C-alpha cells in the first residue's frame, strides 16, 4: 500500500455559534511528489501546526475579516513548522526547517515560498518553540504588555487566560519587568500553573463568584494594566477595577467569538474610561512584525529562553487526524497552554 497523505479540510462555513466536528473532514490524499513542483516552490513535511483562537474568524466565511477565510473543500491554513523535502527555490534546500503562516493542514504539501521563513540551524531551540515561546502568541503578549501598555516596574497588571498561549508569556514578561502580576484562569490546575510562572496572585474565574470582587481582592490597589484575552464579562469587571491612567490591551475576545447577535455580552462599565483616563488598544499582532518591536522581542525572549528564565507550556495533540477536535477544544477552554498539533517527528534538533 502506498503511503497516504492526511488532509484536514473545511466542509462548510460556520458564520456564528459553535463549530462541530462535522464542519471538518479528515481525508487521505496522494502524497505530493518532488516531480510535481513548479518553479520556485517547496515541498514541506509538516512537523507541527498551530491552533489559535483567531482561526474562529477564518471559519465564518465573512469577507471583511483581517485574515483570509478558510475555503470549503480546501485544507485549513495556518501557522506551522516543517522540514523542506524538496525545493525548486534558490532560497530553500532539502533539510531546511521553516516556519510561517501558510502551512496547509496536510502531512506534506506543496506551496510557493511566500509566507515562509527559515529557522537558523544554529538556534539550538526545538522546532515546536517557534509556534510557542518565539511564536505568534508570544509576540502578541510582548506587543500588548511592552509596546502598547508600556508596563513599568511597580505597576499592577491583570491578565486573563493567564495560562494560555499568550497569557503565560504575558505573566513572565511582566514579572521580569517588576510588575505586580495578577492572573486569572479557568481551573484550579491552571491557577497553580500561573502561580508557578511567578504571578503574585491568581484566581479561578469560573469558581470565584463575583468577578469584580475577585479582581478587587487580588489587586487591592487597583489595576494599572489589563491584558485582555477574553473580552465580555471579564473585560467589564476589569473596567470597574482600573486605576487612574490605566491601559487595556485587547488582542482577542474569545468569550465572544462564538456569540450570536442575541448572546453577545453588553459592556456597561465603558463610561469609567473618562474619570479614570483609561486607554484601550485593540490590536492584531501581524501589524507589528515589520516594526522594531519584533527584533526586540526575539532578542529578549531568546535570551530568556537560553538562560532558563522563561518557561512555556505547550499543549500537544498528537496526529493530524485529531486536529479538528484540537481546534474545537480551544473554543471551550479545554486546552492547557499553547495548543499545537504534532504531525510528524523532526528526528532532529535544529
Q: Output 67 or 176, the one with its CB closest to a copy of itself.
A: 67
Residue list 54-83, contact with a copy of itself (CB under 8 A): 57, 64-66
* Cα–Cα dist 43/33, whole Å: 8
Query: Which of the stretches 17-25, 103-111, 200-208, 270-278 binds a copy of itself when contact is defined by CB under 8 A?
Result: 270-278
Q: For residue 222, is it left (φ>0), alpha (ψ between -120 and 50) or beta?
A: left
Q: Binding to a copy of itself by residue 18, rule CB under 8 A?
A: no
Query: How far apart are CB 265 and a copy of itself at their closest, in Å?
Result: 8
CA torsion 164-166-171-177 (nearest 10°) is 170
What single DSSP character describes residue 256? H
Query: Which of the stretches 38-46, 104-112, 130-138, 243-251 binds a copy of itself when contact is defined by CB under 8 A?
Result: 243-251
Q: Binding to a copy of itself by residue 275, rule CB under 8 A?
A: yes
Among the listed residues 200, 174, 180, 204, the one whose alpha carbon sits nearest the alpha carbon of residue 190: 204
**Which of 11, 208, 240, 273 touches a copy of itself by CB under 8 A?**
273
Q: Binding to a copy of itself by residue 274, rule CB under 8 A?
A: yes
- Look at the block and give the residue holding cell 509596546: 147
**Which of 132, 231, 324, 326 touches a copy of itself by CB under 8 A?**
231
- Look at the block and give the residue holding cell 484550579: 188
Q: Binding to a copy of itself by residue 20, rule CB under 8 A?
A: no
Total length of the chain? 350
Q: Binding to a copy of itself by residue 144, rule CB under 8 A?
A: no
Query: How far apart are CB 333 and a copy of itself at their closest, in Å?
Result: 18
Query: What would the grid cell of residue 47 be?
Result: 512537523
> Measured in whole angstroms, how far is the alpha carbon of residue 60 from the centre of its chain?
19
Number of residues lying near a copy of itself (CB under 8 A): 33
3-state secondary structure labels for all residues of 161-192: CCCCCCHHHHHHHHHHCCCEEEEEECCHHHHH
**Which of 18, 267, 295, 318 touches a copy of itself by CB under 8 A?**
267
Query: How far apart are CB 142 and a copy of itself at their closest, in Å?
Result: 16
Amino acid at each position: 500500500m502506498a503511503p497516504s497523505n492526511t488532509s484536514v479540510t473545511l466542509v462548510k462555513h460556520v458564520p456564528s455559534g459553535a463549530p462541530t466536528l462535522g464542519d471538518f473532514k479528515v481525508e487521505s490524499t496522494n502524497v505530493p511528489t518532488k516531480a510535481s513542483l513548479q518553479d520556485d516552490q517547496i515541498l514541506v513535511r509538516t512537523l507541527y501546526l498551530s491552533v489559535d483562537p483567531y482561526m474562529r474568524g477564518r471559519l465564518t466565511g465573512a469577507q471583511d475579516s483581517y485574515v483570509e477565510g478558510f475555503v470549503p473543500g480546501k485544507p485549513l491554513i495556518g501557522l506551522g513548522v516543517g522540514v523542506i523535502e524538496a525545493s525548486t527555490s534558490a532560497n530553500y534546500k532539502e533539510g531546511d526547517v521553516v516556519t510561517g503562516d501558510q502551512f496547509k493542514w496536510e502531512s506534506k504539501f506543496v506551496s510557493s515560498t511566500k509566507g515562509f521563513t527559515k529557522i537558523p540551524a544554529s538556534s539550538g531551540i526545538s522546532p515546536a518553540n517557534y509556534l510557542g515561546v518565539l511564536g505568534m502568541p508570544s509576540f502578541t503578549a510582548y506587543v500588548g504588555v511592552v509596546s502598547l501598555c508600556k508596563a513599568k516596574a511597580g505597576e499592577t497588571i491583570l491578565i486573563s487566560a493567564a495560562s494560555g498561549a499568550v497569557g503565560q508569556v504575558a505573566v513572565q514578561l511582566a514579572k521580569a519587568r517588576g510588575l505586580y502580576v495578577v492572573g486569572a484562569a479557568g481551573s484550579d490546575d491552571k491557577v497553580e500553573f500561573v502561580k508557578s510562572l511567578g504571578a503574585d496572585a491568581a484566581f479561578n474565574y469560573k469558581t470565584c463568584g463575583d468577578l469584580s470582587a475577585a479582581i478587587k481582592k487580588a489587586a487591592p490597589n487597583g489595576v494599572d494594566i489589563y491584558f485582555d484575552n477574553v473580552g465580555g464579562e471579564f473585560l467589564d469587571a476589569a473596567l470597574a477595577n482600573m486605576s487612574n491612567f490605566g491601559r487595556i490591551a485587547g488582542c482577542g475576545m474569545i468569550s465572544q467569538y462564538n456569540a450570536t447577535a442575541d448572546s453577545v455580552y453588553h459592556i456597561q462599565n465603558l463610561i469609567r474610561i473618562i474619570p479614570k483616563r483609561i486607554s484601550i488598544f485593540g490590536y492584531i499582532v501581524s501589524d507589528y512584525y515589520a516594526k522594531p518591536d519584533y527584533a526586540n522581542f526575539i532578542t529578549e525572549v531568546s535570551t530568556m529562553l537560553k538562560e532558563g528564565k522563561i518557561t512555556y507550556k505547550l499543549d500537544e495533540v498528537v496526529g493530524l487526524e485529531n486536529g479538528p477536535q484540537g481546534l474545537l477544544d480551544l473554543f471551550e477552554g479545554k486546552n492547557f497552554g499553547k495548543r499545537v498539533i504534532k504531525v510528524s517527528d523532526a528526528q532532529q534538533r535544529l
